[in-house]
């Protein structure tokens, strides 16, 4: 039997670092927004080779593949007991801040839940990756706090058309956090202020009003090396976007347009901008 799975992504509509714990982990306040991405998984079970096999196309995965990690935890939970063959078709490179790998793992976990049965959440999702619990849930938009373990759904309907820009450069999360530590020097935004800021952004977007450049502490770090973001954001603003910003620690940027708006013309303009490697649209 073959199963073709779509893989979700997340955008950070806001992202503020609010502290750093003694163990080095950073506390944050962020708003996660789910979108459907361009990546797919083809799962065959039982595997024709009678053993687990994971093939990745269009991307080189360094270190452990998060799909392999998810599969091991599923087996530990006594799910997906037969050998499986997985073909992963990548379109989002690592280092873009979109949670593409987490989305791949979430798609596999959701497949196992639907195929073999199980609770809405198994409980091991956070062991796979920080973004996986959100992407495994049915939540479209949520406030994420702490070190990523606090997940609170946000009520209301938020529907947009949009585009995501993949630039030619990547952003390594660990290095980006080191830069944040250097720049902030312990002067973190208070959690209450970060929440208030995000509520203002959400209020504007929920009513269809322009929110402009979305707050993200990592943007300043990337702008020091890539002023091309200024051109990206200027172009999407001229095209009528409601909001635009950086996702996660970068490097991907995105723009939100009113629901069912045709933003392909904006994509045509952006295709001529310096540093753009890929563009994809979503609704």
Question: pLDDT tens digits for 4-20?
Answer: 999 999 999 999 999 99
Is residue 183 within 8 A of residue 221, CB to CB? The reply is yes
Give 109-162 pLDDT, tens digit per residue.
999 999 888 777 888 899 999 899 999 998 999 999 988 888 999 998 899 999
CA angle 226, 230, 235 (to 5 degrees): 135
- Identify which of 42-46, 115-119, 264-268 has the greatest average pLDDT: 42-46
**pLDDT of amino acid 262:** 81
Is residue 216 within 8 A of residue 165, CB to CB? The reply is no
Residue pointed to by tokens 């954001």: 233
Give the residue among 96, 90, 94, 81 at the shortest CA–CA distance from 12: 96
Q: Is 187 exposed, middle or buried (0-12, 13-18, 19+ CB in 10 A)?
A: exposed
pLDDT band at 50 (very low <50, low <70, confident <90, very high): confident
Beta bridge partners of 26: 20
Contact residues for 113 (Cβ-Cβ < 8 A; gap 6+): 79, 119, 120, 122
Half-sphere exposure (Cβ direction) of 280: Cα atoms closer than 13 Å: 12
pLDDT band at 219 (very low <50, low <70, confident <90, very high): very high
Give the residue among 28, 29, 36, 38 at the shortest CA–CA distance from 10: 36
Residue pointed to by tokens 């080095």: 24
pLDDT band at 203 (very low <50, low <70, confident <90, very high): very high
- The CA distances from residue 263 to 64, 141, 254, in Å, are 37, 22, 12
Our measurement of the distance from residue 105's CA atom to the centroid of its chain's CA atoms, rounded to an integer in Å, reads 12
DSSP state of 121: -
The answer to whether residue 99 scores a pLDDT higher than 90 is yes
Handedness of CA 112, 114, 118, 121 (dihedral sign): positive
The answer to whether residue 63 scores a pLDDT higher than 80 is no
**pLDDT of amino acid 283:** 81
Give the residue among 18, 13, 32, 34 at the shortest CA–CA distance from 200: 13
Is residue 266 within 8 A of residue 234, CB to CB? The reply is no
CA angle 267, 272, 274 (to 5 degrees): 115
**What distance in Å separates the CA atoms of residue 139 and residue 34, rounded to the nearest whole number?**
8
Q: Residue 232 is encoded by which pair of tokens? A: 């990206």
**Domains annotated on the chain, with CATH:** 2-282 (3.30.230.10)
Element (H, E) at 223: helix 217-223
Our measurement of the distance from residue 217's CA atom to the centroid of its chain's CA atoms, rounded to an integer in Å, reads 16
State what percent of residues in the chain have pLDDT above 70. 100
Strand order through the sheet with 160-167: 212-213, 243-246, 253-258, 160-167, 276-282
**pLDDT of amino acid 270:** 85
Q: Residue 56 is encoded by which pair of tokens? A: 């990745």
């Amino acid at each position: 039997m073959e199963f073709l799975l779509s893989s979700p992504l997340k955008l950070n509509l806001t992202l503020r670092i609010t502290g750093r714990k003694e163990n080095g982990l950073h506390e944050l306040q962020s708003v996660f927004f789910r979108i459907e991405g361009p990546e797919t998984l083809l799962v065959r079970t039982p595997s024709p080779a009678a053993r687990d096999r994971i093939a990745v196309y269009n991307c080189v995965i360094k270190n452990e593949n998060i799909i392999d990690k998810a599969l091991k935890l599923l087996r530990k939970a006594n799910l997906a007991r037969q050998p499986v063959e997985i073909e992963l078709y990548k379109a989002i490179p690592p280092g873009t801040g979109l949670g593409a790998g987490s989305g791949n793992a979430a798609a596999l976990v959701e497949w196992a839940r639907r195929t073999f049965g199980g609770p809405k959440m198994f409980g091991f999702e956070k062991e796979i990756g920080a973004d996986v619990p959100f992407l495994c849930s049915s939540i479209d938009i949520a406030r994420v706090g702490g070190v990523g373990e606090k997940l609170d759904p946000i009520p209301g309907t938020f529907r947009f058309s949009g585009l995501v820009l993949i630039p030619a450069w990547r952003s390594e999360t660990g290095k980006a956090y080191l830069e944040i530590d250097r720049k902030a020097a312990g002067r973190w935004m208070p959690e209450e202020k970060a929440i208030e800021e995000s509520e203002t952004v959400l209020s504007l977007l929920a009513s269809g009003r322009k929110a402009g450049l979305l707050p993200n502490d990592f943007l300043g770090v990337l702008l020091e090396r890539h002023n091309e973001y200024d051109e990206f954001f200027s172009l999407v603003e001229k095209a009528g976007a409601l909001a635009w910003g950086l996702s996660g620690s970068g490097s991907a940027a995105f723009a939100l347009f009113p629901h069912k708006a045709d933003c392909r013309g904006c994509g045509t303009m952006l295709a001529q901008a310096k540093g753009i490697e890929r563009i994809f649209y979503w609704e």
